[in-house]
Structure 1
Amino acid sequence: MTASQSQLSHALRSQRLNQITHEPHSRLDSLVKSHDPFSSRERFARFVAAQYLFQYDLEKLYNTPALIELVPDLPARCRVKQARLDLADLEHPLPQGDETIREQSLSTGAALAWLFVSEGSKLGAAFLLKRMPALGLSETFGARHLGEPEGGRAQGWKHFVAALDGVVLDAEQERQAEAAAIAAFERFVVHLERCFA
């Protein structure tokens, strides 16, 4: 076992997932930049379409009773409705989502890992929101899905991470969670490529 593997095995689950997804997260960031989604409303609308598809994937997870027991405000955290309204504001057609992720029977660890990726993106959304006035958009028009969550971004993230780190998982469920976090980034890449095709 290397030193970094040893650190991973003892780190909090949220820290492990952060480390494991560092590379796919960096690749996704580079891909987003390559599509230049903040250069025009039309390009931003394609970015929102990808966000909508990802939130559509996770909509059922955000409304799963067993997960709501762990994170009581989970249903309010879903941004599928906001993304849908943003696309209407931007006069962009609503893309057709598929049931690939929605129909999967995910373990608690895997489900939380998918949500970890979605919830983590809200932290970066604060920086994206600052670029919206240049496009004539805001958290009440065209960029609702980037808006400040109730209670604030930092507090919301802190509560989610506490729930994620507090759940007891066995070794197989931990492995499933790690694989799911990487799969979530890969799924967003698929949506992004589709929407910018």
Structure 2
Amino acid sequence: MTASSQLSHPLRSQRLNQITHEPHSKLDALVKSHDPFGSPERFARFVAAQYLFQYDLEKLYNDPALIALVPDLSARCRVEQARLDLADLKHAVPEGDDSVRGQSLGLGAAMAWLFVSEGSKLGAAFLLKRMPALGLSETFGARHLGEPEGGRAQGWKQFTAILDGLELDAEQEREAEVAAIAAFERFVVHLEHCFA
């Protein structure tokens, strides 16, 4: 599902926002249906899904070519925070899938996967407000929702400015669109697996 011709916004980040609106809405509804804030046990399943998604992306966050574009990229990865959260919640760390993690992605696709991950940090601010009711915080059980160094808004602005400034050819643009949707679909797979 790509609709480049219907996407009017000149900024790549805004076009990716437009193209992922539907999968994003579906994911939000799915998260709500699993009631991850109903108990610490349910939240632990949500964190397990977050861990698996961050595990998928860990190699991208540590890719030297991408770090050349986004200097603080490796510090943005939340796989370790999610692992520590699972320990706090006394939940086993699920086994990640190295077939996805090791796939070779072009620049457009790689940045689109990171775009979805980085964008989720904005919503994490709202989720963090629900943590005290579960006895959790950004230092215990919900580290992966914590405020990034320099702030959420600033980190997002810096990332999208780099994304929007990249020179991509038509094929890379198409790959970015496909990858952004694939990233949401991948999180759905993890969520369903962890709440099964």
Quickly name the TM-score band, shorter chain normalised. Answer: over 0.9
Equivalent residue runs for 1:94-113 within 5 Å: 94-113=93-112
Equivalent residue runs for 1:109-128 within 5 Å: 109-128=108-127
Cα RMSD between the aligned structures?
1.1
2:55–2:79 CA contact under 8 A, matched in 1: yes
Please identify runs of 4+ aligned residues in structure 1 that moved more than 6 A: none
Separation in 2, partners of 1:24, 1:115: 16
> What corresponds to 2:85 in structure 1?
86
> What corresponds to 1:162 in structure 2?
161
Separation in 2, partners of 1:127, 1:81: 21
Q: Deviations over 1:72-103 (max 9, x none)?
A: 00000000000000000000000000112212
> What corresponds to 1:141 in structure 2?
140
Separation in 1, partners of 2:110, 2:138: 28
Gaps of 5+ in 1: none
Change (3 A) 1:43 1:168: same
> What corresponds to 1:188 in structure 2?
187
CA drift of 1:187 comes to: 0.2
2:36–2:42 CA contact under 8 A, matched in 1: yes
Change (3 A) 1:9 1:169: farther
Separation in 2, partners of 1:7, 1:30: 25
2:59–2:102 CA contact under 8 A, matched in 1: no
Where 1:151 maps in the other structure, the secondary structure is coil
> What corresponds to 2:13 in structure 1?
14
> What corresponds to 1:35 in structure 2?
34
Could you tell me the TM-score, scaled by structure 2's length? Answer: 0.97
What percent identity do the matched residue pairs reach? 85
After the TM superposition, which of the residue ranges 98-107 and 162-171 deviates more from structure 2? 98-107
Separation in 1, partners of 2:173, 2:63: 20
Could you tell me the TM-score, scaled by structure 1's length? Answer: 0.96
Change (3 A) 1:10 1:130: closer
Where 1:165 maps in the other structure, the secondary structure is helix
* Letter aligned with residue 144 of structure 2: H
Separation in 2, partners of 1:36, 1:5: 35
* Letter aligned with residue 114 of structure 1: W
